[in-house]
Amino acid sequence: MPGLWHNAKYCFDTIVVDSFNEPTIRTAHEIVKEAVAHHNPFCVYGTTRGVGKTHLLYAIRNEASNLYPALHTLYISTEDITSVLVKECVKRMEHCFLEQYCKPDILLIDDFDLLLGKEKTLMSLLLLVILRCEQQKQTVIAWHGQPFSEIVFHYLSKSSSQQLENSSIWNLQIPNFDACFTLLKRDAHEQGYRETLPDEILTYVANYGNNGIRSMRMLFQRVALAFVQGKKTHTQEEVDTIAKKYGWLSRWDF
């Protein structure tokens, strides 16, 4: 996905940052700037989908490419990993998988949680992470749900899990209302809605930030479209009606 990788939207400057997430974003930025694997593996998880985990991985990839063009940085999803492992297992050459993914200087693994229940694939991936740590190669892992340490201790022996006991684990949380509102103002400006959408409507949409950034932005698109088409979106109740239509039921109440 080269076009996606180099999209200017996926950088550190466009990540929604508040007081809760600032340490996580700052540490991720340090990984790129210092190009030293001392937060290894760097693990970021969230209990709500759409809070910016994949965006953060993209930002690391793009920043590393800009600062160090010679650095080999690779993003992979667990779907990619599963596909490769299936092919290698058929050929009985699982070691090729480890060799291939030990090469990148920075390896970014997304949607780690989707491997839960696929024990053989998950074990191969955890072994890969251990090997990369031994080689001082930076690994970044993103997933939704339970902390990485719980997964490690469940699937690995005590001796193996100890090799990952220094994992740098960060919880990427839902940004607060102010951060969500600021993001929507920026989106409205970039998409040409700033002159037509009053702040009140952005406030109503920002109240749905507790569903995650991705969901809130999708709601913004639908509300903005309805507004410019002359449909009623002038009150919180009218925005709620649109939200419920697409399954977003909860919002912040102030």
* pLDDT band at residue 220 using 50, 70 and 90 as cut-offs: very high
Judge whether residue 108 has pLDDT over 90: yes
Mean pLDDT calculated for residue range 217-228: 87
Q: What is the predicted pLDDT for the residue at 90? A: 52
What was the pLDDT predicted at 3? 43
pLDDT at position 8: 62
Compute the average pLDDT of residues 6-16.
76
Pair of tokens at residue 238: 């009218």
DSSP state of 59: H
Query: How far apart (Å, rounded) are the C-alpha atoms in residues 200 and 202?
Result: 5
Pairing of strands 42-46, 138-144: parallel
Angle between helices 119-134 and 78-90 (to 10 degrees): 100
Give the CATH fold of the 2-171 domain.
Rossmann fold (3.40.50)
Residue pair 185/202 in contact by the 8 Å Cβ criterion: yes
State mean pLDDT over 65-80: 88
Q: Which residues contact 209 (CB under 8 A, 6 or more apart)?
A: 174, 175, 176, 177, 179, 180, 216, 252
Is 147 a residue whose pLDDT tops 70?
Answer: no
Q: Is the dihedral of CA 189, 191, 192, 196 positive or negative?
A: negative
Q: What are phi and psi of 84, to 5 degrees?
A: -65, -45
Yes or no: say if 71 and 105 are a contact pair by the CB < 8 Å rule.
yes
**How many whole angstroms separate alpha carbon 138 and alpha carbon 64?**
12
